[in-house]
Amino acid sequence: MTARKKIKKVYLSLRAYLLKTLLVPWKQKGKQPLPGGNMPIKVLFIRIDRIGDMVLSTPVVRAFKKSYPRSQISVLASAANYAIIENNPHIEKMYQFPKPNSLLGRIKLVRKLRRKNYDIVFDLHADYQLATAMIALLVGKKRRFGFKSAGRENLYTDSVGVSPDLDFIDLTGSLLTELAVHQNNKKTEIFISLVEKKKAATWLRSNFKRQRPVLGIHPGAFYDTQKWPEFYHAELIKKLYETGKFNLLLTGSNGDFPAIERIISKCGCEIKTNISNDLREFAGLLKQMEMLICNNSGPLHMAGACEIRTISFMGPSNVKLWKPSGDKNVVLRRDELPCIGCNSSKCLIGTHACMRLISPNDVFEIIEKIYATL
């Protein structure tokens, strides 16, 4: 164990003790019965992190709405994932959490949410960070549901343990068990409007003159350790281009632009690109695609919600927790490596073997098999 990890462990243990000592009286006082019968329930779900987390949280919102159809559901989202829940029919109100440099904006938002008098607040974050637990404490005057982690449980009225045996969707859904709500349907959802679908279809028709399956390639990811090598992307694109079977589309956010330029320069063939931070536009394009080839990232889970095939690369991430939703996914992973699933933002052995040992030919053979009849 490194010195940094030891310090973190001591800090979290001390924090857990202090929170338990200081907040137990407040915790017990705050627990109140919920409205009975058919009374409407005002509910807030907190999910202020990344794109994939929000996509994988859509089943829990749907499950609660199904059990409590008269509930009024609000979601507190981040600037990054807010677009995922637009047009979601289970959600009445959406709030965007201000960025870190807007302390006054955050204070104003929390005060606004306090005035809503929510019956239930669900903190969907299952990590050790205190920010969302503090929001739940300040906003949820009656019942607050969250996960046990380094003392965070003392900020809630109801808490559950973080089970290592559950995937992300089931883990999030475990917060509902105290209310006898069961998340039987694990399908993730993104609701694309007819206008958005037509816009995407028009864009594709104008860029691809031949009617062939559209394969998306998305090289981006949150951490560098999650990224398949750029020159592998280039080699795969070249192989796919030479078959003449596919319309190939390189996608990414504005931050992925330099990597996409390097990939294009290496593959030596013509390929269309769509580079934008507009998640709604990207989701519309996904609905028109046959397949997305990508890293373990937000776009992977968006593709699952759009019910298209995916081929993804999984190295440092916990595959049980982060496996994509649905039955149209191929996850490539080198399980034989002793360091697989290290969950580190930097390669601990300096080789990035978990990604480099997945060859472009591995991916190409899978695609060739799927589309053998073309």
Q: Hey, is 329 helix, strand or coil?
A: strand
Mean per-residue pLDDT of the chain: 90
pLDDT at residue 353 greater than cutoff 70: yes
Same domain as 293, residue 233: yes
CATH code: domain of residue 201: 3.40.50.2000
**Token duo for residue 34:** 């919920």
In a domain, 5, yes or no: no
Number of compact structural domains in the chain? 2
Asked if residue 7 belongs to a domain, the reply is no
What is the arithmetic mean of pLDDT over 48-73?
Answer: 95
Which of helix, strand or coil describes residue 337?
A: coil
Question: Given CA atoms 165, 169, 172, 175 in this order, what sign does their dihedral have?
Answer: negative
Average pLDDT (334-342) is 91
Q: What's the average model confidence in pLDDT over 163-180?
A: 91
Residue 33 is predicted with a pLDDT of: 65
Find out whether 241 and 271 touch, Cβ atoms under 8 Å: yes
DSSP structure string for 164-206: TTS-HHHHHHGGGGGGT-------------HHHHHHHHHHHHH
222, 143: one domain = no
CA distance 201 to 195: 10
Cβ contacts of 71 within 8 Å, gap of 6 or more:
40, 41, 42, 43, 64, 65
Indicate the residue among 179, 210, 243 that finishes a domain: 179
pLDDT exceeds 90 at position 374: no
Interacting residues of 323 by C-beta distance below 8 A, sequence separation 6+: 167, 314, 329, 331
Same domain, 233 and 288: yes
Residues 59 and 142 in one domain: yes
Let me know if residue 3 belongs to a domain: no
Give kind and range of the element (H or E) at residue 72.
Answer: strand 72-77
Q: Which residues of 297-329 are buried (b: 16+ CB within 10 A; e: fewer)?
A: bbbbbbbbbbbbbbbbbbbbbeeebbbbbbeeb
Q: Looking at the predicted structure, is the pLDDT value of residue 189 above 90?
A: yes
Exposure of 319 in the CB half-sphere (CA atoms within 13 A): 14
Least confident of 53-57, 84-88, 256-260, 339-343: 339-343
Task: Supply the range of the domain harboring residue 243.
Answer: 194-370
Q: pLDDT grade, residue 26 (50/70/90)?
A: low
DSSP 8-state symbol, 226: G
| Identity of the amino acid at 91 | I
State the pTM of this model.
Answer: 0.92
Q: Are residues 125 and 89 in the same domain?
A: yes
| String of DSSP letters for 44-71 | EEEE-S-HHHHHTTHHHHHHHHHHSTT-
